[in-house]
Amino acid sequence: MRRLCFASMLIFQVAGLILLAAPAFAGEDQLIGSGSSLVASVGRSNSLYVTGNNEDSASDDFMLAPSYAFNKDYSLSAVLAASQDLKEQQFVMTLARLSLKRYSGVDLLNHRVKWIPRISLSLPVNPAEQAASLQAGTTLGSRFELSPDYLISKKLGLAFDISGSRNFHTYDTAADGHVNTEYSTIQGVEVSWSFTDAISITTLFNHYDLYSYQGVASDFFSHNEEIDYQASKHYIFAVGHSWGNPFVPSRTPDGQDLQLNLLDSQNSFVYASILVII
């Protein structure tokens, strides 16, 4: 189950990036003209180190992300993700999310910043979420993209993402006894660099704050590094590394030091994926 949770978070990070960028990948004119688009992804993820113990992980990951543009400003998107755990031979749904956003954005600070607001609804398809008696989750989020015209290079991309979520559970505690999370927030920083029109690298850093029904707070870090090659307007190849996912406590057990690593044998994953945009 621990491996399935890691695979779920990996898909969540990749799917989130794809959804935010889907209009750019598909082309705004294509979205407006057809009214809809579809991003499909097939990938493979593995533990960074193979040690032979039960913590190793390998899975085939699948995702569908349909999107419908109502007009030049607003779109409705969904993410459906699943994972085939190759160690335990289990196939499970890992994510179901519906999002409404203004993908064209709102210009702020004299066109220096683009604000992209969104609202999302998540449904409990993950076995861990179902065992925790999750009924649904709602999220309000905002993405702030800095115009490359005002950065050191037009090849550089810089964006900030802030979101807050409210979960609805039948019970305050899960079947395994852990206390469920009622509220959570995520603060993210995304930095990208376009080497060419087809090749780019993206780094994403997230900080999570979780608040239980009893008011107990905890926080976590995660980061993701990915290289993308856009072979055509319909095909994108990606390879990357993910750490945290976000089950690594932000501090060491003594509470004195931050527990933030570039990579390690227990919490690092590497992955490769093929994206098809229709």
For 160-192, the pLDDT digits (tens) are: 999 999 999 999 998 888 899 999 999 999 999
Q: What is the pLDDT of residue 265?
A: 75
List residues bridging with 44 in a β-sheet.
60, 272
Distances (CA, A) of 40 to 23, 43, 69, 79, 179: 14, 10, 17, 10, 35
Q: What single-letter DSSP state applies at residue 268?
A: E
Q: What is the pLDDT of residue 18?
A: 47
Distances (CA, A) of 53 to 57, 86, 229, 261, 266: 10, 14, 34, 21, 11
Nearest alpha carbon to residue 265 among 59, 85, 58, 55: 55
Q: What is the pLDDT of residue 8?
A: 43
* CB contact at 8 A, 81 and 65: no
* DSSP of 76-111: EEEEEEEEEETTTTEEEEEEEEEEEEETT-EEETTT
Q: What is the mean pLDDT of the chain?
A: 83
* CB contact at 8 A, 7 and 236: no
Distances (CA, A) of 246 to 7, 46, 103, 118, 161: 11, 16, 27, 22, 16
Q: What is the pLDDT of residue 26?
A: 40
* CB contact at 8 A, 183 and 166: yes
Q: What is the pLDDT of residue 15?
A: 45
* CB contact at 8 A, 268 and 241: yes
Task: Record the pTM.
Answer: 0.85
Q: What single-letter DSSP state applies at residue 178?
A: P
d(CA 170, CA 134): 7
Q: How many C-alpha atoms does 216 have within 13 Å on its Cβ side? A: 8
d(CA 201, CA 193): 5
47-94 residue pLDDT tens? 887 655 556 778 898 999 898 988 888 999 999 999 888 877 888 888
User: To which residue do tokens 């079947």 refer?
Assistant: 175
3-state percent breakdown (helix, strand, coil) of the chain, nearest 5: 15, 55, 30
Q: What is the pLDDT of residue 246?
A: 60
d(CA 144, CA 117): 9
Q: Which residues of the chain register pLDDT less than 50?
A: 1-13, 15-33
For the chain, list the domains and their CATH numbers: 2-277 (2.40.160.40)
d(CA 260, CA 191): 18
